[in-house]
Amino acid sequence: MRIAEVIVFAPIAHPLSYLIPEHLQWVIEPGSLVNISLGRTKKMGLVIGVKEGDPHALAYTLKPIVGTVYDVPITNETLIRLYFWISRYYICSLFSVLDAAIPTVIRKNIPLKLTTYLQLSPHIDGTIDAQKLPKQYEALEFLKKNSPIAKSQFLELFSRNILDALLRKNIIYETFRREERLAYSLPGLINPRAYDIQLTPEQLAVIRSVGESLERKAFRVHLLHGVTGSGKTEVYIELMRRVLEGGGSVLYLLPELALTAQVVEKIRSRLEGFPLWIWHSGLSDGERRDAWLGALEQGASIMVGARSALFLPINNLRLIIVDEEHESAYKQSENPRYHGRDVAVYRAQLEGATCLLGSATPSLESIFNTRFKNYQLESLTHRIDHRPLPPVHVVDMRHSLGETKRILSPLLLKKIGERVEKKEQTILFLNRRGYATTVLCKNCDFIATCPHCSLPLTFHRTINQCLCHFCSYRESLRGKCPKCGSPEIFHSGMGTQKVEQLVKELFPAATVARIDSDVMGKRHEFIHILNHFREGKIDILVGTQMIGKGLDFPKVTLVGLINADGSLNQQDFRANERTFQLLVQVAGRSGRGEYGGEVVLQTHIPGNETIFLAKNTNFEEFIAKELDLRKRFSYPPYRHIIHCNLSGIDPVTTEIFAKDFIRQLEGVFGENTADVEIRGPTLSPIEKIQDHYRYSVLIFTPSVSRICEKMSAFRQSITLPPAMTLCIDVDAQDFM
């Protein structure tokens, strides 16, 4: 008899053994999704292995598998190895990995979308009298010319009574076809354009280099550093073509949903005839299910998606592209806290595939790997047609007076006005949504603060409420101070809603739109906005970091960075790197077409070195200085950081346990592990979130692999007090 090892979709530490029933002996394989009995409950599980065995020789009785969810395995052995690696490296349970890797939409087994077609019978019983039954006769003649036809289309022309009569007479019969729910395929969502591309010598050199790795069919990582507007996407598409024509498949990862429509448009217009699937959380359940099955069933295909697309069972995967590889959005913020870029590299290694990382501002970790590991650096140093990078005007905002000038400087207002007159387009960037960042009372010391988090509330004018961006708490102040009753409520700070309102008031003749996560909540709304912007129907686009990378709008000749130094104030050693990347990326949206572009960068610290280097797009000098700084303090990429966050409802109990946690942790490593440094505990920068007080412990190590087993055993052995949680984040990107 065959025995299956099953990971249960429940918080159980180890796989369980189940007997494979006789009727399922040759149906169940590694990767099969099965229904099982666990105690008195029914659960679902994933088969990770099958072995021959004698159940009678065991000291206990094995339960049989109840049945399968699908007729075929829904994942493969390579991905199962990936699940185990993520669990081990990121020090998390196998259940949490499985829960993320095989989403609920796949476990639910949503019915296929079937379309009913009407087909003429090969042998029609009898004829129809045109005089007595003219409508039936007309329908029959129509079907003779148009069979098969969709039932819905037939019913637009003829009544249901006619249809039923033809069915009863066996003149026609119904057939069913599976219809694949393709995302972004509705008319008007994407506007296809014709592309006449002449690759540059630099692009061809990159394609040759990466193409050699593809031909060898061996694992290799390439880092493509290309300035904004240098045509990285065209390189990706040409490499995709080579893979697809060779019978392989491609996985194309994107950090932002806002980039998906533009990328899909380009690929579909250039690589017609090859299946393309899309995968991200913004799709319907049916679209995601069909994309998963499409990856499972088809040969040469393209999958475009967010980081979770890494878990799709893609056949013959030969190339993984990680676009904008520097983006922190690739890091999962909840268990399993994996980094999409690093998991992509490891999956490529398991598949024996090529991994191509691309960015105009690569991460320090990837640059480090080109210098001290075996990543191959590729470069695109010029924009297409040698278009110049836009000049950057730095505006000192320290002396700006008045509400308008505090938000938009006279220079930026002047430049916007010029673009409106010329019918050119402007992008205004502010990485903060909402209307005002602080709501306070002029009469007393009241500041609207979240009762559950140690953060001020953000005022959203569109709903006339104050929101907490961490726990979604809402409060309506109704125009008066809740502390003293004064009507002198003042909105301080600025968000994208305030900028949008101000620009509409100052430029009434211009069409203004906004893109931020508030807009993204409306299905396909952001795609329509981007299409209208590309078509010239929108003059000024206000947005957060969603519009700050990857997007290509040839008519944009002005970019305004409203609060360029905002990200420098974060308590994070990556603040300089993220600010540099953001400024260079956003500035790169300007001047990508036939018209020259400009950038206005507003800041309160114009002498800051990071801002100066970003203004001049001096990547090499920034990298040299930042790597030297990281080396002196032994920060990543020279060491890894494991962030342990302890949170509890009672602040005193949480602090006491955090100190005890440190003592236990030091006991795990002892004195022999000299290359492990433990810091803390310290209060987290955001002390309280969702009524939980938070303490941070940082572990510095040159190699996570050396200590992950000890950390995993420690995580399983530690006993947490009631209402206390422990989150372990390997290669942490956020310490807030």
- Tell me 112's DSSP state: P
Q: Does residue 127 carry a pLDDT above 60?
A: yes
Cα distance between residue 357 and residue 332, in whole Å: 18
Instruction: Kindly list the distances between the CA atom of residue 117 and the CA atoms of 150, 178, 328, 455, in Å, as whole numbers in the listed order.
Output: 4, 11, 48, 58
Q: Does residue 629 carry a pLDDT above 80?
A: yes
Question: Cβ(604)–Cβ(565) under 8 Å?
Answer: yes
H or E stretch covering 233 = helix 232-245
Strands of the 172-178 sheet, one edge to the other = 149-150, 114-120, 172-178
Residues 6 or more apart whose CB falls under 8 angstroms from that of 726 comprise 644, 645, 646, 661, 715, 718, 720
Q: Does residue 188 carry a pLDDT above 60?
A: no
Question: Cβ(715)–Cβ(337) under 8 Å?
Answer: no
Q: Name which of 388, 308, 321 is nearest 357 in CA terms.
A: 321
Cα distance between residue 336 and residue 82, in whole Å: 13
Question: For residues 133 and 112, which has the higher predicted lDDT (pLDDT)?
Answer: 133
In the structure, what pLDDT confidence band is assigned to residue 636 with cuts at 50, 70 and 90? very high
Say which amino acid occupies 713: A
Say which amino acid occupies 306: A
Please report the beta strands in 89-142, taking only residues with DSSP state E, as ranges in sequence order: 114-120
Q: Does residue 575 carry a pLDDT above 80?
A: yes
CA angle 540, 542, 544 (to 5 degrees): 150
User: Helix, strand, coil % (nearest 5) of the chain?
Assistant: 35, 25, 40
Q: Which of 38-47, 300-309, 520-529, 559-568 has the lowest mean pLDDT?
A: 520-529
Question: Cβ(143)–Cβ(172) under 8 Å?
Answer: yes
646 token code pair: 């302890």
pLDDT at 559: 92
For residues 234-254, average pLDDT: 95
pLDDT at 657: 92
Q: Which of 169-183, 476-490, 617-631, 685-699 has the lowest mean pLDDT?
A: 169-183
**What does the mean pLDDT of the chain come to?**
88
CA angle 151, 140, 176 (to 5 degrees): 25
Q: Does residue 220 carry a pLDDT above 80?
A: yes
What are residue 17's DSSP bridge partners?
Answer: 5
Cα distance between residue 538 and residue 296, in whole Å: 41
**pTM for the whole structure:** 0.87
pLDDT at 599: 93
For residues 468-480, average pLDDT: 84
pLDDT at 588: 85
Question: Cβ(289)–Cβ(106) under 8 Å?
Answer: yes
pLDDT at 602: 92
Q: Which of 85-89, 377-381, 516-520, 554-558 has the lowest mean pLDDT?
A: 516-520
Cα distance between residue 415 and residue 400, in whole Å: 17
For residues 434-441, average pLDDT: 86
| Cα dihedral across residues 725, 730, 735, 736: positive or negative | negative
Instruction: Kindly list the distances between the CA atom of residue 349 and the CA atoms of 206, 312, 590, in Å, as whole numbers in the listed order.
Output: 21, 16, 37
**Residues of the chain with pLDDT > 90: what percent?**
48
What are residue 322's DSSP bridge partners?
Answer: 253, 357
pLDDT tens digits along 702-716: 999 989 989 999 988
pLDDT tens digits along 305-320: 999 999 999 999 999 9
pLDDT at 487: 83
pLDDT at 345: 97
Question: Cβ(426)–Cβ(540) under 8 Å?
Answer: yes
Q: Name which of 283, 288, 279 is nearest 307 in CA terms.
A: 279
CA angle 666, 668, 673 (to 5 degrees): 75
In the structure, what pLDDT confidence band is assigned to residue 108 with cuts at 50, 70 and 90? confident
Question: For residues 343 and 259, which has the higher predicted lDDT (pLDDT)?
Answer: 343
Residue 653 CB neighbour total at 10 angstroms: 15
Coil vs helix vs strand at 11: coil
Strands of the 474-475 sheet, one edge to the other = 458-460, 465-467, 474-475
pLDDT at 700: 95
Q: Does residue 269 carry a pLDDT above 70?
A: yes
Q: Name which of 328, 357, 360, 358 is nearest 619 in CA terms.
A: 360
Cα distance between residue 150 and residue 161, in whole Å: 17
For residues 596-601, average pLDDT: 90
For residues 727-733, average pLDDT: 93
Q: Which of 24-33, 50-59, 431-440 has the lowest mean pLDDT?
A: 50-59
Cis omega before residue 681 (within 30°)? yes
Q: Does residue 401 carry a pLDDT above 70?
A: no
In the structure, what pLDDT confidence band is assigned to residue 517 with cuts at 50, 70 and 90? confident
Question: Cβ(221)–Cβ(345) under 8 Å?
Answer: yes
- Our measurement of the distance from residue 467's CA atom to the centroid of its chain's CA atoms, rounded to an integer in Å, reads 24
For residues 203-231, average pLDDT: 94
pLDDT at 190: 54
For residues 581-606, average pLDDT: 87
Burial zone of 270 (CB within 10 Å; 0-12 exposed, 13-18 middle, 19+ buried): middle
What are residue 425's DSSP bridge partners?
Answer: 556
pLDDT tens digits along 341-400: 999 999 999 999 999 999 999 999 999 999 988 999 999 999 887 888 889 999 998 877
